[in-house]
């Protein structure tokens, strides 16, 4: 079948089609890998490793995320170079990564040693990391700006239009993956909080019935036991639910 398809196109076109199919298959695998990432940190690491393996010219990759206070933190660098590139931008307060977070969606830098948009960053980046070319993408979902994906290379002019196109698709996958992983983590945390609340409520009911005390007094018993045993309140409550009474060490103190 492939021979019949390729018969109608020249060698160059056939090669382009084949490369496009391979790239589509890679992104399909990436999408599945990101969807099954157990934590946001795992998803972020898979994105940066994939960037180095897939985007033409990319030597290093890192992600900068906007935290809940509006600050920017670096995560999932593929090595010390990527980490330092992000750190320098944060230290001097300028650079293409910060630019895409605040001002634009994509920023390509052919050579930071000659680019005059971020002189302080450029000087230090070249001197401390040897990086010359940079390609940065905003990570966003609708109006929610998550941060930036920064790709770098020691070769000036390393990123061509094809690299920008591949990186743009990768950044879209990355933004969706980070958002999805965050939602799953929040759901897990909420589920854990609900289980904890249910266990504590059940333990309070047991203590109220067995000791004929008020809810506040039962909670004081749990809190005192937690403090004396150096255990989490939820763990003490769970033992009460399972045994019907306070842990031995705490019970002896209460009954004195």
Stretch among 4-18, 39-53, 179-193 having the lowest mean pLDDT: 4-18
Task: Read off the pLDDT of each residue in 19-25 and give the average, rounded to a whole number.
Answer: 77
Determine contact, residues 137/100, Cβ cutoff 8 Å. Answer: yes
Determine contact, residues 167/139, Cβ cutoff 8 Å. Answer: no
Q: What is the pLDDT of residues 177-235, one digit of tens each?
A: 888 877 777 777 777 777 888 888 998 999 999 889 998 998 899 888 888 888 888 88
Give the three-state DSSP class for 103.
Answer: coil
Confidence band for 14, pLDDT divided at 50, 70 and 90: low
pLDDT score for 25:
85
Query: Is the predicted pLDDT of residue 19 greater than 70, yes or no?
Result: no
Confidence band for 4, pLDDT divided at 50, 70 and 90: very low
> Which residue, among 215, 209, 83, 210, has the nearest Cα to 152 in the 3D structure?
83
- For 50, residues 6+ apart whose C-beta sits below 8 A from its C-beta are 30, 170
Determine contact, residues 78/49, Cβ cutoff 8 Å. Answer: yes
CB crowding 190-205: b at 16 or more within 10 Å, else e: eeeeeebeebbeebbe
Query: Rounded to the nearest 5°, which phi and psi values hold at 37?
Result: -60, 125
| Paired tokens of 150 | 């920064």
Confidence band for 256, pLDDT divided at 50, 70 and 90: very low
Share of the chain above pLDDT 90, in %: 49
- For 185, residues 6+ apart whose C-beta sits below 8 A from its C-beta are 39, 40
Distance (Å, whole) CA 225 – CA 248 = 10
pLDDT score for 128:
97
pLDDT score for 2:
47
Q: How far, rounded to the nearest angstrom, does the alpha carbon of residue 87 sit from its chain's CA centroid? A: 17
Confidence band for 100, pLDDT divided at 50, 70 and 90: very high
> Which residue, among 125, 144, 148, 126, has the nearest Cα to 135 in the 3D structure?
148
Query: Is the predicted pLDDT of residue 110 greater than 60, yes or no?
Result: yes
Q: Tell me the H-state helices in the chain.
A: 2-6, 11-35, 40-54, 80-92, 96-102, 119-129, 161-211, 215-229, 233-243, 248-254
The whole-model pTM stands at 0.69
Give the three-state DSSP class for 179.
Answer: helix
Among the ranges 13-17, 65-69, 190-194, which has the highest mean pLDDT value?
65-69
Q: Pick the more confident residue, 189 or 82.
A: 82
Query: Is the predicted pLDDT of residue 106 greater than 70, yes or no?
Result: yes
Stretch among 5-19, 50-64, 226-240 having the lowest mean pLDDT: 5-19
pLDDT score for 7:
46
State whether the Cα torsion 39-169-134-101 is positive or negative: negative
Q: Pick the more confident residue, 26 or 77.
A: 77
Determine contact, residues 57/133, Cβ cutoff 8 Å. Answer: yes
Share of the chain above pLDDT 70, in %: 89
Q: How many other β-carbons are positioned within 10 Å of the β-carbon of residue 156? A: 13
pLDDT score for 118:
95
Q: What is the pLDDT of residues 130-164, one digit of tens each?
A: 999 999 999 999 888 999 999 999 999 999 999 99
């Amino acid at each position: 079948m492939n021979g019949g398809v390729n018969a109608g196109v020249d060698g160059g076109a056939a090669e382009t089609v084949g490369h496009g199919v391979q790239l589509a298959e890679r992104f399909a695998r990436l999408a599945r890998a990101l969807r099954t990432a157990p934590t946001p940190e795992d998803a972020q690491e898979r994105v940066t490793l994939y960037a180095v393996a897939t985007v033409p010219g990319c030597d290093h990759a890192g992600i900068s995320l906007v935290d809940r206070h509006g600050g920017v933190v670096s995560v999932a660098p593929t090595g010390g170079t990527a980490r330092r590139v992000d750190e320098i931008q944060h230290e001097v307060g300028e650079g293409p990564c910060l630019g895409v977070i605040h001002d634009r969606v994509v920023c390509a830098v052919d050579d930071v040693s000659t680019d005059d948009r971020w002189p302080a960053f450029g000087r230090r980046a070249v001197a401390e990391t040897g990086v010359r070319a940079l390609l940065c993408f905003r990570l966003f979902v609708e109006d929610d700006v998550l941060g930036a994906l920064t790709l770098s290379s020691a070769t000036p002019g390393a990123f061509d239009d094809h690299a920008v196109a591949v990186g743009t698709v990768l950044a879209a996958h990355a933004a969706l993956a980070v958002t999805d992983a965050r939602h799953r983590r929040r759901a897990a945390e909420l589920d854990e909080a609900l289980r904890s609340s249910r266990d504590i409520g059940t333990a309070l009911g047991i203590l109220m019935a067995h000791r004929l005390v008020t809810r506040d007094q039962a909670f004081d018993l749990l809190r005192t036991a937690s403090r004396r045993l150096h255990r989490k309140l939820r763990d003490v409550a769970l033992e009460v639910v399972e045994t019907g009474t306070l842990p031995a060490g705490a019970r002896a103190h209460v009954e004195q």
